[in-house]
Chains A and B, each alone.
Chain A
Amino acid sequence: MGLENKLFESLPDVMTVKLDAVVNWARKSSLWPATFGLACCAIEMMNTVSARNDLSRFGAETFRASPRQADVMIVSGRVSRKMAPVLRRIYDQMPEPKWVISMGACATSGGVFDNYAIVQGVDKIVPVDVYVPGCPPRPEMLVHAITMLQDKIMKESVKDRRDTFEAESRLSKVPGTLPVTEGTKLEKGLEAEVAKGDTARPYSVPSRHEKRRSS
């Protein structure tokens, strides 16, 4: 006499639904963050998964130390210039689909550390989906950022995450996302610019979603 029985009676055998809705729902409901604790924001990030704030209510409590098993990178703290290539490499090692949360003032803009040692915003190195202000942000703010990211994921299209280049995939403009750039003219143009020295690309090859949020 449980809820299952009631549901079972009312559920049809076959349902039609948009593929995007199902895939995005599955993705957003099981976000696995990569721990990238760099400074005091990491203490708040740890607190976010504690009993009091309990990030597992939103399906994002499984923090992984390995980038290969993670799909959200929470950059919590100031990124030093020496850490920047390391961060970029870890981002590149994460499988698609992947998202980045820039947690706190330092990760977002350099914060009070406007100096030679600190990268002035992690978005110079990796594309950022959600910025969280604060110094440090409270755990509630990180929970809010996760839920905002989940809302954003629901607006994505599966087409945007294709590995292979398809002309039409670049045209699929969904709010909050930008099309794939892997192997496209856009990226080849960028490579040429970098080769000529017109564009600075300080740390690594751009991700295929690098251009996603720039148009």
Chain B
Amino acid sequence: MTEQLVGYIEALRASNADSVTEVINAFGEVTAVVPRKHIVEACRFLKESYEFDMLADLTGADRGPEDAPRFEVNYHLFSTKHYSRLRLKTLLSEDDAKVETVTGLWKTADWHERETFDMFGVVFEGHPDLRRILMPSDFDGFALRKDFPLRGYEPYSLN
């Protein structure tokens, strides 16, 4: 099963040698680490050439303030044609947590990117309406960052 998935990644690498820096093959799942500047191009390639027509999930992760690069954005791709799943991962540093939006490829990325922005503070450049989606608009801080205090920042916390 994973041979086929690795095949897609190899095809991606063949299209642009810089687009894949690492392939993680674990637990029957294949993850490709893609540099930030190639992520939209990689998504478009997989969507148009290999029928990954659905973005099942787009989410962020914080590896902690001591890690560099600190943030990752994960793209969970799914194909409704051949039912295979693929994960793309891009790594972002703390002081430049920006990545280009994929709303042009999948409409569903709109709210997923808003959520990732709301929780981690990752800015998606070119997003049509990048504002908070879960927390109130006047909320201070990004709640799922590792250094976010559980009770929130003053004076918002009201504690």
Contacts and interface: CB of A to CB of B under 8 A. Distances in A.
A-B complex is real: yes
Interface of A: 81-82, 85, 114-117, 119-120, 124, 200, 202
Given A81-B135, A114-B151, A116-B151, A202 B143 contact: no
Interface string B127-159: 000000011100101010000111110011111
- Nearest 6 CB-CB pairs, A to B? A116-B152, A82-B136, A115-B150, A81-B136, A116-B151, A116-B143
Chain B interface, >50% SS class: loop
Nearest to B135: A82
A119 B135 CA distance: 13
Interface residues of B, number: 16
Nearest to A125: B158
B150 A114 contact: yes
Contacts of B143: 116-117
B158 A116 contact: no
Given A81-B135, A114-B150, A115-B152, 10 more contacts: A81-B136, A82-B134, A82-B135, A82-B136, A114-B151, A116-B143, A116-B149, A116-B150, A117-B143, A120-B159
B132 to A, nearest CB: 10
B159 A81 contact: no
Nearest to A115: B150
A117 B157 CA distance: 9
Contact of A115 (B151, B156, B158): B151
18 contacts: A82-B134, A82-B135, A82-B136, A114-B150, A115-B150, A115-B151, A116-B141, A116-B148, A116-B150, A116-B152, A116-B156, A117-B135, A117-B143, A119-B158, A120-B158, A124-B158, A200-B155, A200-B158
Chain A interface, >50% SS class: loop
Nearest to A81: B136
A124 B156 CA distance: 13
Interface string B118-129: 000000000000
B139 A81 contact: yes
A115 B141 CA distance: 13
Contacts of B159: 120
Contacts of B139: 81
Contacts of A202: 158
Nearest to B153: A116
Contacts of A200: 155, 158
B143 to A, nearest CB: 6
A119 B156 CA distance: 10
B43 to A, nearest CB: 31
A120 B159 CA distance: 7
Contacts of B157: 116
A114 B149 CA distance: 11
Contacts of A120: 158-159
B36 to A, nearest CB: 29
